[in-house]
A and B are shown apart, each in its own frame.
Chain A
Amino acid sequence: MPWAATPKDRLRDLLILVGTIVFTYVFVGLSPMNGKLAYFSIFFLTYAILTGTYQGVTRGSAAAKDAVVSSIVVVGAVATLIPITSILATVIAKGYKGLSINLFTTDMSLATATDPLSNGGLLHAITGTLTLVAIALIISVPLGILTALYMTEIKGRFMKPIKFLVQAMSGVPSIVAGLFILSAVLYPITKSSSGLMGALALSILMIPTIARTSEEVLLLIPSELREAGVALGGTQWRTVAMIVVPAARSGLITAIILGVARIAGETAPLLLLTGGGDKVNPNPFDGPMGSLPYYIWKSFYAGSEESITRAWAGLLVLIVIILVLFISARSLSSRKVK
């Protein structure tokens, strides 16, 4: 290929790179700046200037601009990745210190914030989060999928407004969902915080995620399948239930998993609604119920060294859960495409 890089080109690129690294080290070392970010910014600045001038001298100003933009664009991508790398690294580095067997076998009912880490655990938080997610699923899966079916199968007169409303609903701040359940259910009806209240607020946040993802999945089902179903004499109900939904099954499961990932770490409404107990509470209808986000929040604000380690351990558990959900959703949806 005539446009492939020749050894001479590669040598030149390497030289520019090495020159940049050397200059960055020397410059940052001599100047009063410090920190990784200083190295990062000086490195890219120098690289942009070096390649820019080289291209400008050899090929003119258009090429120089192109070279400078190329390095700026890489800066954007790297800047996006720095936080996620830092978050993952910190959570793993600080969280694994708090991991132990008793973390998964005991709750915090007999432990205080300053107790050593061998005392107490987050069993109540895990069971609580599982209960909350299960109830939220029972409510929001039917509603979310029905909304998606309305937009793809019925295509009624109100399709556009509903689509808009679902979009608007996905932007509802989580604290507002919490306040709504507080004002509409907790104060007038139950009058005490419980797991169910938290789950209701979580379903409000989950419905739009499920509805939007399911809609996208159902739109991918070829309309020939629907036409074939109807042509064979099936009613619309039979066609949807026996052909469309089974064909979209793995995509719908992906939608549900993404919905769970959306709410698993939701904190604000749970602070208002669940009461956040320290004991394993199997009854979602009565009594305070713990949850992972609440546990992290409480440990973080307890402020002692042990409790902050507990918070990091809780975050590690939460992040692993979200990672597993996310990877399973990805692998399911990529299988569907083939």
Chain B
Amino acid sequence: MSIAVDPVKPREITTQPRLSDRVFRGIVTTGGFSSLLILGLISLFLGYRGFEVFRNEGLSFITSSEWSIVFDESGNIVESNFGLAAMLVGTILCALVAVIIAVPISVFSALFLNFYAPAWLKKILVAVIDLMAAFPSILFGVWGFLVLMPSVEYWAKLLNKYLGFIPLFEIKPYFATRSPFVAGVVLAIMIIPIITSVSREVFAQAPLDRIQAAYALGATRWAMIKAVVIPHGRSGVIGGAMLGLGRAMGETVAVFTVLNIVFQVNWHILLGAGGNVASLIILKFGEASPYEIKALMAAGLVLFVLTLGVNALADFIVKRTGKSGR
């Protein structure tokens, strides 16, 4: 008796993923690259629209601070000057004021949360600070203008009265309303939650064995913080501050409501004449001619590159602390 055995063809063994997996991986990878695509498109389109302005203005787009456009009767452009110097200086000035005010407050509150507050209080405070980070900028703008600005102007007068001999705090001619200082205070309030949460996370990573070793050697709480936590978290705090700086530079609405925009470079933080790239865009957008819109696009590109650079640096610094110190 013979049974005709069909030689069974062995199943082919392969490490190739199945079709469904290949489709899945393809879709997920494509989705993953969306951020690259969007960032690329942003710089491409803003650069493309702003190219004409960049070419016509050249380097003076960054160095001059005049912003004017003149038409003849038939609507042709006679003369146009677009320069961002005052706006860039103003943006950096406001953001720096904000960071200088916000960093000490954030670091102290992060220390309080991590090493002083009882657990129940810490839980509540962390939730409240996270909530504050989610507040929209228009809220800070309206509140800043109607509630905060009068008292900040009072502080500014005090600063000017007692420290007016320092050029930074000079007001001449006297006009202290809507100054970069006011904008800086509003921005500081907006970035305190960000810097606090970054610092809190960095401080929480401080090695427990060293903390306990410090206590075991008889250190007070402050001595422990000074010896262990601050050396460990220093660069993380710097990174968090840079992150806040980037956020403060890109902020639009809150600054626009409290800042008086003047096309003149001004380093006196108490004088009511500031500049801000993002606010310039909102200010000029409504009545802008097509060519001026191109200039605004170019300004947007400058702002985009600036914030991207600051954020990248911040990211790099925060990441580096995660590795070192352990």
Contacts and interface: CB of A to CB of B under 8 A. Distances in A.
A207 B112 contact: no
B300 A179 contact: yes
Interface stretch (A6-14, A18-26, A166-174, A220-228): A166-174
A132 B86 CA distance: 35
B4 interface: no
B48 interface: yes
Max chain A C-beta neighbours (<10 A), residue from B28, B36, B151, B300? B28
B108 A77 contact: yes
B198 to A, nearest CB: 12
Contact of B32 (A151, A171, A180, A297): A151
B192 A173 contact: no
Interface stretch (A60-68, A99-107, A119-127, A247-255): A60-68
Interface in B240-284: 243, 246-247, 249-253, 257, 278, 281-282
Contact of A173 (B41, B147, B278): B278
B65 interface: no
Interface string A146-172: 110111011010100110111111011
Interface stretch (B6-14, B121-129, B175-183, B208-216): B121-129
Interface string B15-45: 0011011011101111111111011011001
A164 B312 CA distance: 8
A176 B250 contact: yes
A147 B108 contact: no
B119 interface: no
Nearest to B279: A175
Nearest to B116: A73
B320 interface: no
Contacts of A330: 127
A62 B31 contact: no
Given A175-B282, A176-B300, A65 B138 contact: no
A265 B136 contact: yes
B250 A173 contact: yes
B35 A166 contact: yes
Contacts of A173: 249-252, 278, 303-304, 307
A236 B16 CA distance: 12
A240 B225 CA distance: 44
Interface in B137-163: 137-143, 145-148, 151, 154
Contact of B111 (A76, A142, A164, A207): A76
Contact of B250 (A77, A146, A175): A175
A172 B307 contact: yes
Contact of B24 (A35, A175, A177, A236): A236
A196 interface: no
Nearest to B41: A184
Nearest to A148: B32
B253 A297 contact: yes
B107 interface: yes
A13 B261 CA distance: 51
Interface residues of A, number: 89
B192 A80 contact: yes
Interface string A67-108: 001101111110111011011001100000000000000000
B235 interface: no
Given A66-B223, A81-B128, A318-B139, A240 B24 contact: yes
Contacts of A35: 151, 154
A175 B300 contact: yes
A296 interface: yes
The B contact surface, by secondary structure, is helix
B147 A90 contact: yes
Contacts of A322: 131, 134-136
A70 B125 contact: no
B253 A315 contact: no
Contacts of A211: 35
A271 B282 contact: yes
A204 B109 contact: no
Contact of B132 (A65, A84, A154, A293): A84
B29 A150 contact: yes
B102 to A, nearest CB: 9
Contacts of A326: 130-131, 134
Contacts of B18: 235
Given A74-B116, A180-B45, A267-B252, A154 B108 contact: no
B30 to A, nearest CB: 8
A293 to B, nearest CB: 5
Nearest to B139: A315
Interface in B173-200: 189, 192-193, 196
B119 to A, nearest CB: 15
Given A172-B307, A235-B17, A322-B135, A165 B39 contact: yes
B297 interface: yes
A300 interface: yes
A284 B49 CA distance: 26
A258 B134 CA distance: 8
B104 interface: yes
Contacts of A165: 35-36, 39
12 contacts: A35-B151, A69-B225, A76-B111, A146-B34, A154-B32, A156-B32, A162-B35, A168-B312, A176-B303, A180-B42, A271-B285, A272-B285
Given A166-B35, A171-B307, 8 more contacts: A76-B107, A150-B29, A161-B36, A169-B38, A179-B46, A265-B137, A272-B285, A300-B145
Interface of B: 17-18, 20-21, 23-25, 27-36, 38-39, 41-42, 45-46, 48-49, 104-113, 116-117, 125, 127-132, 134-143, 145-148, 151, 154, 189, 192-193, 196, 220-223, 225, 243, 246-247, 249-253, 257, 278, 281-282, 285, 296-297, 300, 303-304, 307-308, 310-312, 315
